[in-house]
Amino acid sequence: MSLLEVEGLTKSFGGRRVLRDVSFALREGEIVGLVGTNGAGKSTLGDIVSGITAPDAGTMTLLGHAYAPLSAEDARHLGVGVVEQLVRIDAELTVAQAVFRGTPQAGRPQTELREQARALLGEVDLDVDPDTLVGELPHFVHPLVETARVLAEDTRLVVLDEVSAVLLPSEVARLHAVAGELSRQGRGVLYISHRLPEMLEVVDRVLVLREGRIALDAPSSALDSVRLAAETVGIPVTLPVRREPAAPQPSRPDQAPVPAPARPAPSDEVALQVRNLRVPGRVEGVDLVLRRGEVVGLTGHRTSGVREIAGALSGELPALSDEAVLHGEPRSLDPSAADAALRLPAYRPDDDAYGVDPGETIARTLTQEAWGTLTDLRKEIATLRSVINTVHKLDVKTMSIRTVFGALSGGDQHKLALARWMASARDVVVLHEPARGLDVRARQQVRQLLDEATAHGTSVVVVSVDPDELADFCDRVGIVAGGRVARWIDTGELAVDAVRERIVEAATAA
């Protein structure tokens, strides 16, 4: 039986029509993937289904009854829950209170909630004490707490909006186990993601949203990630009725988004050398050599020490080393060492609003100049041209450069913030999750930003949970475990898929 039926949904923001006549059905026990480019309208559709946004037109039914939620709370009462990647739970609550907030049990004493919360956290495989304050948890844990909350309610349908974007492969596997369990219980899942290979492992069916419409509705068994990427960006492919298990069809190069060409090899000149890097209790004896123009990736479990290595390089954590040399100049890993401190600039997409005022226009965000102070018309025209070029080059979906930054889709915000940051990136920099939440084409655009920077001699340390991002962007990838780099994977001679597999294998074993 259909759990959810959506008929003719339409939604516009300002003059931009985001959804046009969207119709689909989701059956009980079905896990349906929703993909599309940045700004395609996936979150908008997820928000309508989960009551956060009202459609302009169209109807929905839930288990055969008319369904038109007035708010997210209303939707939850009617049986539809949502987990958003950027959910921020009140820092003052305990984890147990967070799990039960908005449910009939909310307000019960902590002693009563604790054991039930522990069981639910166990279901999402989250080893967190229910008495911990939410403010003490890293942000990536919030969506998992939120998933436990969905389990606490009698939710018939769960919308997972890019929850996997910030998760390690092992954590994604847990999320998939939860989705599988929901499906076995006859509940439905609408799974929004840009991480296509992983998504295809769990969903039964995939909807591709393109130009506001459902451009493809196909069983996952008929797709692979290359075909799905092509469908996402709108290059038509003919789908076989089912996948041939013995002989997978080779993808024709003209069907796939064009892969970025190989980056020129980094120079032999050493940009940064650190010997025996230590962060007491977390990192032990890491040696790092970064050549000029090289992109080196680091990944590992949450407790592996990978974040601490990055924190030591960017001067956020006090650290020790036997030697640290930046372009031949001795440096100190002690952040308080005045002029000699290493303190590499670091970009983090999960910094609140990327350090950008969400109410500021795209134009001002990119120019970082107060308008009205420019007196030279030619300079003003050149500045605006460069803003328009960036918006075009990065394919940002907006009708005007005067649109406020906060109204852009998550992926478009991230692309612009990264472009702004990279414009002033020099020398050696640390990038955390540079492709987080980006569609297949946007990833190539970020790769291009990196290529341009490295061609000018910038060297980059990429810290990431995403094996595809690491395989695609980096010359070498270090798998961190137990406070050390357990293994280096050279990406140069291997196809991206093979590198991805090695990273997943090594990171899972470490």
Ligand X SMILES: Nc1ncnc2c1ncn2[C@@H]1O[C@H](COP(=O)(O)OP(=O)(O)OP(=O)(O)O)[C@@H](O)[C@H]1O
Note the residues at the interface with ligand X (CB under 6 A): 13, 16, 18, 36, 38-44, 397, 407-412, 437
CB nearer to ligand X: give 48 or 80: 48
Is the Cβ–Cβ distance between 441 and 393 less than 8 Å?
A: no
**Residue showing tokens 């939620």:** 69
CB nearer to ligand X: give 26 or 362: 362
CB nearer to ligand X: give 234 or 345: 234
Q: Which of 277, 265, 390, 359 is nearest to 323 (CA)?
A: 277
Q: Which of 71, 80, 82, 81 is nearest to 5 (CA)?
A: 80
CB nearer to ligand X: give 344 or 391: 391
- Residues 441-456: b if buried by 16+ CB within 10 A, e if exposed: bbbbbbbebbbebbee
C-alpha distance across the termini of the chain, in Å: 44
CB nearer to ligand X: give 15 or 261: 15
> Which one-letter DSSP state was computed for residue 251?
P
Rounded Cα–Cα distance for residues 17 and 369 (Å): 31
CB nearer to ligand X: give 39 or 478: 39
CA 355 to chain centre: 17
* Least distance from ligand X to the Cβ atom of residue 306, Å: 26
Rounded Cα–Cα distance for residues 44 and 396 (Å): 17
Is the Cβ–Cβ distance between 35 and 41 less than 8 Å?
A: no
* Least distance from ligand X to the Cβ atom of residue 446, Å: 13
Give the pair of three-digit tokens for residue 424: 């002033």
CB nearer to ligand X: give 14 or 186: 14
* Least distance from ligand X to the Cβ atom of residue 201, Å: 20
SS3 per-residue string spanning 50-99: CCCCCCCEEEEEECCEECCCCCHHHHHHHCEEEEECCCCCCCCCEHHHHH
* Least distance from ligand X to the Cβ atom of residue 228, Å: 15
**Residue showing tokens 């990630």:** 225
Rounded Cα–Cα distance for residues 484 and 221 (Å): 39
> Which one-letter DSSP state was computed for residue 270?
E
CB nearer to ligand X: give 54 or 337: 54
Integer Rg of the chain from CA: 23
* Least distance from ligand X to the Cβ atom of residue 35, Å: 9
The one-letter code for the residue type at 94 is: T
CB nearer to ligand X: give 46 or 79: 46
H-run or E-run covering 453: helix 440-455
Is the Cβ–Cβ distance between 331 and 324 less than 8 Å?
A: yes
**Residue 157 φ then ψ, to 5°:** -135, 135
Is the Cβ–Cβ distance between 42 and 208 less than 8 Å?
A: no
Give the pair of three-digit tokens for residue 347: 């970009």
* Least distance from ligand X to the Cβ atom of residue 395, Å: 11
CB nearer to ligand X: give 292 or 420: 420
Strands 459-463 and 2-13 come out as: unpaired
What is the three-class DSSP state of 506? Answer: helix
CB nearer to ligand X: give 286 or 408: 408
* Least distance from ligand X to the Cβ atom of residue 465, Å: 17
* Least distance from ligand X to the Cβ atom of residue 189, Å: 17
* Least distance from ligand X to the Cβ atom of residue 19, Å: 8
**Residue 424 φ then ψ, to 5°:** -110, 10
* Least distance from ligand X to the Cβ atom of residue 142, Å: 17
Residue nearest to ligand X (CB): 411
* Least distance from ligand X to the Cβ atom of residue 437, Å: 6
CA angle 2-8-14, nearest 5°? 135
CB nearer to ligand X: give 54 or 455: 54
* Least distance from ligand X to the Cβ atom of residue 1, Å: 28
